[in-house]
Chain A
Amino acid sequence: MTATVQRITYEATIEHIDEIGPETRSFILRLPPTPHFAFRPGQFISCLLPVGGEIIRPYSIASDPEDAPRLEICLNLVPNGPGSHYLFSLAVGATVRFSGPWGTFIVDGAPAAECVFIAEGTGIAPIRPMLRRALAGATHPVRLHYSATSAAHLLYAQELEAAARTHASFTFAPVIDGSLTEDIARRYVSGDSDRARRFYICGVGDIVPRLRDLLRRSGYERRAVQYEKW
């Protein structure tokens, strides 16, 4: 029984697959000319994967809207994860069906205040296009704290370092020693009394609500701390 409006689904072709980290792949999908697919930086697609019938797996879009008709997702191989195992079994030329775009974790312009992005692991995916949008015309500082388990797990690191060299307002702070929470607390909680910053946090698991609570409880407004927890 269908209770709500029928969703448009898209069928994209895998154009390119890249190993961008340990057991982590980027998939460049080529969208069909129709129906037209448009999204805002930070949104995700909902993949409909033929595993035991059909399973739904959301993946953040790691590319820019301007990259259309190409769209990039990146994911790591999750132990016993049927969605990632299925996608890792696919080769160039295979098709992926999805609906979208979805999600309200979005940055679609230069921020009106200092903007702090916090990414953990593959949580960099939605932040990558958000960051580019934030840097275009940025008049306030833009910072990225990006935590991963090792330097090899820091995805898009060269690109992020290059952006830091190009944009004087942008600071890139990679973290590979597990000190992300302490760094955030020291810099934005005990470091000063400025509470006008905006935060955008994305990652997998408890680190996300932990950072959310840390910031909100230290005086930042609820809506100034946006996050997406996977």
Chain B
Amino acid sequence: MATLRVLFENCAPERIIEFDPKKAPFQHDGRPGSILDILLAHGVHLDHACGGSCACTTCHVIVKNGFEKLSEAQENELDLLDKAPGLTPTSRLGCQAVIEDDAEITVLIPRFTINAA
């Protein structure tokens, strides 16, 4: 089992999601077992204008805890993050960051995820 705690910059109440990573995918957008996959399957909205195919930055999240327990970012994700507004050292794209088993992850969903250059 793994735990995903979700904080919202817009002050919406936090959510704590417990799930079994081995049962991924939980829905059809983003990489199976990704933060986006977990959130959408548990009724938490996260923008993903490109459909979760790693072609925009609207699913940008800031990882507050457990950054090292996520799959390593590939070059395509890093190139997109390079253009994300509000980039931090622990930024990830929700559609690409896959949560490992037994991980406890905390993410902050930014208020703004607009990525028009």
Asked if A229 CB lies within 8 Å of chain B CBs, one says: yes
Question: When chains A and B are docked, how far (Å) is the Cα of A57 from the Cα of B50?
Answer: 7
Asked if A1 CB lies within 8 Å of chain B CBs, one says: yes
Asked if B90 CB lies within 8 Å of chain A CBs, one says: no
Chain A residues, Cβ within 8 Å of B48: 56
**CB of B10, distance to nearest CB on chain A (Å):** 7
Interface size for B (C-beta < 8 A) is 37
Question: When chains A and B are docked, how far (Å) is the Cα of A3 from the Cα of B60?
Answer: 12
| Given A56-B51, A101-B116, A102-B50, A4-B56 contact (CB < 8 Å) | no
Could you tell me if A4 and B10 are in contact, using CB atoms closer than 8 angstroms?
yes
Chain A residues, Cβ within 8 Å of B41: none
Question: When chains A and B are docked, how far (Å) is the Cα of A56 from the Cα of B48?
Answer: 8
Asked if A84 CB lies within 8 Å of chain B CBs, one says: no
Interface size for A (C-beta < 8 A) is 30
| Given A104-B80, A104-B83, A209-B75, A40-B47 contact (CB < 8 Å) | no
Asked if B45 CB lies within 8 Å of chain A CBs, one says: yes
B interface residues with partner A (beta carbon < 8 Å): 6, 8, 10, 12, 15, 28-29, 43-58, 75-76, 79-80, 82-83, 109-113, 115-117
Query: Besides A4-B47, A104-B83, 8 other CB < 8 A contacts?
Result: A1-B43, A3-B6, A46-B50, A46-B51, A103-B115, A222-B79, A229-B54, A230-B55
Please, could you name 10 A-B residue pairs with CB atoms under 8 Å apart, sorted by A? A1-B45, A3-B6, A4-B47, A5-B112, A56-B49, A58-B49, A99-B49, A101-B116, A104-B116, A229-B54
Shortest 4 CB-CB distances between A and B: which pairs? A46-B49, A104-B117, A102-B49, A104-B83
